[in-house]
Structure 1
Amino acid sequence: MVAGTETEAEIETAGLRELVARARVVLWDFDGPICRLFAGHSANRVARELVEWLEGRGMRRLLTDDERAAPDPHVVLRAVDRLHPRSDLVIELEERLTQEELRAVPSAMPTPYADPLIRTWSAVGTRLAVTTNNSPRTVRTYLASRGLLGCFAPHIYGRTAELHRLKPHPHSLNRALRATGADPAAALMIGDSPSDLTAAQEAGVSFLGYARNERKAKLLVDAGAEHVVGSLQPVLDALRRQPHAAP
């Protein structure tokens, strides 16, 4: 199911209600479902500057033409890590990316309905965690700025020095499940990319796709996502209709 342009009646399917009712712990991707981190601080520019930083040090050969042109800074970071895992070069490159993410926080755009959905889920006792490829420092800084840190802390699982374990590897999800003591069958992940879906499948966790446009929705559906919404409003509505939820 792809939602977004459909009517409210079409969006509120039995499948969505069941996903929400079954969730005892919700694992959130960060950039996308919670906010658009680079809404005012271009990810494309960040990726380009990381490439330029490498080239300025005579390391152009570390990247393929496709990697140099990629709009995602994580592509650059992964490429260098594959050749020089855990090296000082990777550590410095990762820190540069983290600093760019932190600079993006003040201009990040909250995803509509994410804040009230997070607060409502937390209020009814559902455990929440962030499982992301972004820096955990970035996540904590953003959540604190929105007054949401208490809804998640300490369960924020982001990028570590083990870059080969970024999603689609299920490492961050498995860390969250172990820390919360959650049965994967009682967990739900909200993500916006095929790599989120793959990680959820590998961890044995149900998946709800969030797609802010048709292009992202198609990527998720083509990857096999069964439930995709174009707005978090129907998720919030489904939660509020649960017997335990506050109005």
Structure 2
Amino acid sequence: MKATDLLADAHALLLDFDGPVCSVFAGSPASMVADQLRGVLADGGHTDLPEAIATSTDPFDVFQYAATLGEDEARYVEAAFSAHEVEAIPTATPTLGAHELIVAWHQSGRPLAIVSNNGVPAISAYLDLYDLRTSIDFVSARDGSNAALLKPSPYLLHQAVTALDVAPGESVFLGDSTSDIEAAQAAGVRSIGYANKPDKDSRLTAAGADAITEVLTGLAAVT
């Protein structure tokens, strides 16, 4: 099925944030944030990290590892992570076509939610920066240190469709990672894989995406 057909039939749109809406760490590399989160762990005495965590460039890997160490470690690392996300927002790069899709969808009268593993404060800062808050009906995102609630768990998607008062099967989730697609499947929500890099098409398809799009430009026209 084409992405345009899914959108035309959907009663509600759910959008991942980092990727489909913007590149959060475009001006503040994620690898630097991961290093800083490892510094938080080191300050707490956790210096002997597994190789995969010690070398990861993804701050989510460090946060999820912190959550395995204990509630305090998870809370401290999440707080630092949230602060770095907010600091990154002024240099985040909007995804071409994303703002137009958001505004057009809102104008169509159908509800729209942001569903993201990123923190609520950063998403709120972005929506305010670009005057998009009135076009978003709900934000379902990380608001604490419980890493188990993040995608690929369906929790955030369940929370979004409940808040929007729509059936999961009448909603479509647009995300750019396999964890997005897995979360959508677990929640009973149809999914569009945003293949914004050459290697993503096959991975998102294999994960079970109902449709694939390589660009967001033009999608606003189907609303």
Q: Which residue of 2 aligns with 1:114?
A: 98
Identity percentage over the alignment? 33
The answer (yes or no) to whether the contact 1:77–1:94 under 8 Å persists in 2 is: yes
**Structure 1 residues 167-213: Cα deviation after superposition (integer angstroms, max 9, x where no partner):** 00010100011111111111000100000000000010010111221
2: CA distance, partners of 1:109 / 1:127:
24
Q: Which residue of 2 aligns with 1:173?
A: 157
- 5+ residue gaps, structure 2, are none
2: CA distance, partners of 1:160 / 1:82:
18
TM-score (norm 2): 0.94
Correspondence 1:143-222 to 2 at 5 A: 143-153=127-137, 155-161=138-144, 162-222=146-206
- 5+ residue gaps, structure 1, are 1-13, 240-247
* Displacement of 1:220: 1.3
How many residues are aligned here? 222
2: CA distance, partners of 1:207 / 1:42:
28
Structure with the larger strand share = 2
Q: Which residue of 2 aligns with 1:39?
A: 26
- Flag the structure with larger Rg: 1
* Displacement of 1:74: 0.8
Correspondence 1:42-191 to 2 at 5 A: 42-61=29-48, 63-84=49-70, 87-153=71-137, 155-161=138-144, 162-191=146-175
TM-score (norm 1): 0.86
Letter in 1 for 2:104: T
- Calculate the aligned-residue CA RMSD, in Å: 1.4
**Structure 1 residues 8-51: Cα deviation after superposition (integer angstroms, max 9, x where no partner):** xxxxxx63332012111111100000000001110011001211
Indicate how the Cα distance of structure 1 residues 110 and 145 shifts in structure 2: closer, same or farther if over 3 A, else same: same
2: CA distance, partners of 1:237 / 1:119:
11
The answer (yes or no) to whether the contact 1:208–1:225 under 8 Å persists in 2 is: yes
Divergent runs of 4+, >6 A: none
Whether 1:27 aligns to 2:11 is no
Letter in 1 for 2:142: R
**Structure 1 residues 142-169: Cα deviation after superposition (integer angstroms, max 9, x where no partner):** 011111011114x111113321110000
The answer (yes or no) to whether the contact 1:26–1:129 under 8 Å persists in 2 is: yes
The answer (yes or no) to whether the contact 2:63–2:78 under 8 Å persists in 1 is: yes
